[in-house]
Amino acid sequence: MEKVVKSANKEAEQIIEWGELHKIETCFDRAERLKPCPIGETGACCRICHIGPCRFVGRNAEEEARGVCGATLPTVASRNFLRMIAAGTAAHSDHARDMAFTLLAVASGEAKDFKITDVRKLYRVAGYLNIEFEGRPVNDVARDVAVRLIENFGRQKGEIDFLSRAPKKTQERWKKWGIVPRGIDREVCEAMHRTSIGVDHDPDHLLLHGLRTALADGWGGSMISTDITDILFGTPQPVKAEASFGIFKEDEVNLVVHGHEPTLAEIIVAVADEPEMIAYAVSKGAKGINLGGMCCTANEVLMRHGIPTAGGFTNQELGIMTGLVDAMTVDYQCIMPAIAELSKKFHTKIITTSEKAKMPGAIHIGFDEHRAKEIAREIIMLACDNYQNRKKEGSHITDKFPVIAGFSHEYIEYMQGGRWRASFRPLNDAIIAGRVRGAVGLAGCDNPRVPATGLHRFLAMELIKNDVLVLSTGCGSAACATVGYLTPEMALENAGPGLREVCEAIGIPPILHLGSCVDNSRILTIASAMAAEGGLSDEIAGMPAVGIAPEWMSEKAIAIGCYFAASGVPVIFGGESPVAASKEVTRIMTEVWFERFKGALHFEPDPEKILAMALDYIDKAREALKLKKYEPGKFGTEKVLMDMAARREIERAAKPHIGIY
């Protein structure tokens, strides 16, 4: 019998095989055993009240079929979908709330182990909020910014602040269709209200509120999180690192930070180099302390410090199975509860750190930003103590790949003209000339129901071959990083001729790692800046750009897909549609949303079809903008991109500054 490939990543597959040999179960085995419920998978099950669950199957599967209360299939499917958006928005936004309170604590002098690292970004954000910053103490400005952003969560009327960063036309579309989010918590709360029994039954109306809630995520929670993280820990700029399981060291203490909230991870990075910590590790027989990351906490510390990543969601069990992880801290989101049980078969200590997220079988060391260094040291010492318990068991996989990460909005702007002439002009010109065909945001999770990471890799490779610039985030980035796709050399070897030229001129990889899942908000601000630059569309809608989440699994991915669709970007998700049961809901999310917003949300399991749809959207947008027809290798005239020598010239003239951009 032909062997089923569970992960498209060679090293991951080796560990899975080692696990099979040693009878160690992973998510891949459970995915094989537990097939999705065919009713719930397509949105055809309502369990909103206890008269049900009402299942729309068999003779009860028509659009007109009704649950006991009379709810139709489109009502049920759209209600289920709205609840997914609300949950995803809540996750990103509650993370953002934590960041905002940390900023407030830092500004008020209560969290003394942290500081404002990027003052320039603080001023930029203060500017968006019309908060005076000239001549004021930095901490006063930071306090005003924190208080104002915290207000965005509980605001009852008006609109959330960062919507004003979108192009005017994009904002007008939101107003016209009544989807301007008022306050983040209000939209999530209203979503839960509207979807409880006997409230909102109109699928289109329910889905419009879904878009409003999703906008509260993208232009609210996620954007707030990205900005505050940059202010506190620095706005990313390119950094060299490594990825895959080979980042773990046989002779050092391996401590992994996993989850999404970067505050503890940042402070662990800061104290792991302290001589006392290193001496402690040496006293336990190790040569030093080696930090690594997993999922989006990994992306945060990779982007800012070059801390290596062991990969995304489906790699978390496999990392433990190397036998080399002495401790793994988990904060929240995308943490498989399976790791606590799995860790018992090895020596790994799992440490939960958030008061919101505990796990039977794990050690809990609650993080408190007021005692940050003390807690970080406690965790590092626990990992060092456990080094001595390391056994021989484990796959001990050693391959790793180079990575260039750290592409923030600000850096991409800077690299196109230096600090004094930063702009998006060269990129717009390259798109206008057909040198770059368009852009794709390749985002979302990796998934054990497909050869994990394989869809990301296939699409990333095919897109760059077709001269499409790829902006990646989250586990999409991890999928590319762990096979060596995030290097400038990739452009030379694989990108189409136009994209290759652009990448070589600027010195960037053709796949730009933009950060964690909340950092999809960077793509929104980049698209807004490109609209403001001129020559393409004057709003986000109509740009030759597409979003793709080929292996999504999380409700957060659904919220992200919807805020892109509402902002004017066609989005294609892989896998089975969670609204497939209702033709009407599918029509609304594709045709109706496209008419209103020029964005849409498709679900398509076949990666070849995803690619074809994305290229088709890009080419049609080029045609509508009356841009030169894309033909590989045939370019029009355009401004020459600034090369490295010219940029260095500008830098020589620049004064020392805080932040690079």
**Secondary structure class of 44 (helix, strand, coil):** coil
Stretch that binds ligand MSK, among 282-290, 550-558, 573-581, 632-640 (CB under 6 A): 550-558
**Which residue shows structure tokens 């050399």?**
489
Among 474, 509, 550, 575, binds ligand MSK (CB under 6 A): 474
Using the minimum distance from each CB to ligand MSK, give the nearer residue, 313 or 424.
313
CA nearest neighbour of 621 among 552, 533, 531: 531
Stretch that binds ligand MSK, among 233-241, 552-560, 562-570, 629-637 (CB under 6 A): 552-560
Is 221 a binding residue for ligand MSK by CB under 6 A? The answer is no
Closest approach of ligand SF4 to the CB of residue 74, in Å: 12
Q: Which partner, ligand MSK, ligand SF4, none, binds residue 312 by CB below 5 to 8 Å per kind?
A: ligand MSK
Which two structure tokens, joined as six digits, stand for 24?
């160690």
Among 197, 363, 422, 505, binds ligand SF4 (CB under 6 A): 197
Which two structure tokens, joined as six digits, stand for 274?
């302290």
Separation CA 447–CA 549 (nearest Å): 11
Cα 410–Cα 416–Cα 420 angle in degrees, nearest 5: 75
Using the minimum distance from each CB to ligand SF4, give the nearer residue, 46 or 432.
46
Separation CA 464–CA 468 (nearest Å): 5
Which two structure tokens, joined as six digits, stand for 75?
């009502």
Torsions phi, psi of 529, nearest 5? -65, -35
Is 334 a binding residue for ligand MSK by CB under 6 A? The answer is yes
Torsions phi, psi of 439, nearest 5? -135, 145
Closest approach of ligand SF4 to the CB of residue 583, in Å: 18
Using the minimum distance from each CB to ligand MSK, give the nearer residue, 243 or 557.
557
Closest approach of ligand SF4 to the CB of residue 50, in Å: 7
Q: Which partner, ligand SF4, ligand MSK, none, binds residue 295 by CB below 5 to 8 Å per kind?
A: ligand MSK
Are 555 and 584 in contact, with CB atoms under 8 Å apart? no
Using the minimum distance from each CB to ligand MSK, give the nearer residue, 417 or 474.
474
Using the minimum distance from each CB to ligand SF4, give the nearer residue, 199 or 612.
199
Identify the bridge partners of residue 255 per DSSP, sorted by sequence position.
Answer: 291, 327
List strand residue ranges (DSSP E) for 369-426, in order: 401-405
Parallel/antiparallel/unpaired status of strands 239-243 and 401-405: antiparallel
Q: Which partner, ligand MSK, ligand SF4, none, binds residue 334 by CB below 5 to 8 Å per kind?
A: ligand MSK
Closest approach of ligand SF4 to the CB of residue 62, in Å: 14
Among 44, 46, 105, 443, binds ligand SF4 (CB under 6 A): 46
Surface-to-core class of residue 471, CB atoms within 10 Å of its CB (0-12 exposed, 13-18 middle, 19+ buried): buried
Identify the bridge partners of residue 357 per DSSP, sorted by sequence position.
Answer: 354
Say how many CA atoms lie within 13 Å of 619 toward its Cβ. 12
Among 237, 554, 567, 582, binds ligand MSK (CB under 6 A): 554
Q: Which partner, ligand SF4, ligand MSK, none, binds residue 474 by CB below 5 to 8 Å per kind?
A: ligand MSK
- Per-residue binding string, ligand MSK, 500-539, x by CB under 6 A, is ----------------xx----------------------
Which two structure tokens, joined as six digits, stand for 506?
């600027």
Among 223, 295, 486, 536, binds ligand MSK (CB under 6 A): 295
Separation CA 145–CA 141 (nearest Å): 6
Residue 234 Rama label (left phi>0; alpha psi -120 to 50; beta)? left
Is 296 a binding residue for ligand MSK by CB under 6 A? The answer is yes
Is 57 a binding residue for ligand SF4 by CB under 6 A? The answer is no
Among 10, 22, 36, 53, binds ligand SF4 (CB under 6 A): 53
Q: Which partner, ligand MSK, ligand SF4, none, binds residue 53 by CB below 5 to 8 Å per kind?
A: ligand SF4
Q: Which residues contact 650 (CB under 8 A, 6 or more apart)?
A: 417, 418, 419, 420, 421
Are 573 and 561 in contact, with CB atoms under 8 Å apart? yes
Q: Which partner, ligand MSK, ligand SF4, none, binds residue 285 by CB below 5 to 8 Å per kind?
A: none
Which two structure tokens, joined as six digits, stand for 70?
């009379």
Binding site for ligand SF4 (CB under 6 A): 46-49, 51-54, 67-69, 71, 76, 197
Binding site for ligand MSK (CB under 6 A): 260, 295-296, 312-313, 334, 444-445, 474-475, 516-517, 554, 556-557
